[in-house]
């Protein structure tokens, strides 16, 4: 049980104070069970209209990271377990609401920096190791979150490919991928880029899917599940 001492709570002319000595307000120390409950309830799609996605998950991890550090190794283990399940795609990446690529890039940078700091400064060795393992489940993060989308847009304009209501050559794949990047972006888009470049090199569309599956384990069904709205 933690305590906050020496504070003054005031409402106009009324204030809360101790009759003798400092005012002490008991506070509950964060524990792993509370952190786990908060994170798991957010993953329960039955309680949500549209489920959750990778960006929402990173935001929740960022919100709970300080609490997990106070909870010791069990708190660190909760953070690691959630991110490990996410990295293994046992938790949804593309459900929930939309977000912008720049927002994802910013959140990745924030959470990676904070996780790296936690792995270096946690009071016990077990927590440091768990945060280090959690860090390995995260993308690199950083700026340039819109680079792929802007590159596709440039490709469309240079080659006369139809863009929204503008006239041009119909290319449903490019159009849908561009729309996806408006609403959500993940490391998968780098893999899609690699596979698309491979297709451009060979000219065989089947090679796109083969490259995507052989190198990154992504199928047609996986891409179909990625929101493009």
User: Using CA atoms, how far apart are residues 126 and 129, in angstroms rounded to an integer?
Assistant: 5
Does pLDDT of 41 surpass 80? yes
Q: Express each pLDDT in 203-219 by its tens digit.
A: 999 999 999 999 999 99
Mean pLDDT (whole number) for 51-80: 92
Q: What residues are paired with 122 via a beta bridge?
A: none
**Residue 228 pLDDT more than 70?**
no
pLDDT in the model for residue 47: 52
State residue 1's pLDDT score.
43
**Among candidate residues 199, 192, 185, 198, the one with its CA nearest the CA of residue 220:** 192
| Residue showing tokens 């449903």 | 172
Token pair belonging to 33: 């069970």
pLDDT digits (tens, 9 = 90+) for 71-103: 999 999 999 999 999 999 999 888 877 888 888
Residue 109 · residue 117 · CB < 8 Å: no
Percentage of the chain with pLDDT > 70? 83
């Amino acid at each position: 049980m933690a305590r906050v001492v020496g504070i003054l709570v005031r409402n106009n002319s009324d204030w809360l104070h101790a009759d003798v000595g400092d005012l002490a307000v008991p506070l509950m120390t964060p524990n792993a069970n509370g952190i786990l409950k908060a994170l798991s309830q957010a993953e329960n799609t039955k309680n949500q209209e549209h489920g959750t996605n990778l960006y929402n998950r990173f935001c929740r991890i960022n919100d709970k990271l300080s609490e997990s550090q106070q909870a010791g190794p069990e708190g660190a283990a909760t953070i690691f377990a959630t991110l490990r399940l996410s990295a293994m795609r046992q938790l949804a990446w593309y459900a929930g609401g939309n977000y912008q690529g720049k927002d994802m890039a910013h959140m990745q940078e924030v959470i990676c920096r904070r996780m790296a700091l936690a792995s270096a400064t946690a009071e016990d060795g077990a927590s440091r190791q768990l945060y280090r393992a959690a860090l390995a489940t995260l993308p690199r993060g950083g700026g340039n979150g819109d680079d792929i989308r802007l590159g596709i847009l440039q490709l469309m304009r240079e080659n006369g490919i139809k863009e929204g209501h503008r006239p041009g050559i119909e290319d449903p794949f490019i159009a849908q991928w561009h729309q996806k990047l408006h609403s959500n972006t993940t490391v998968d888009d780098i893999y899609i880029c690699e596979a698309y470049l491979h297709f451009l090199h060979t000219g065989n569309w089947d090679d796109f899917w083969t490259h995507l599956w052989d190198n990154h384990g992504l199928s047609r069904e996986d891409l179909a599940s990625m929101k493009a709205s």
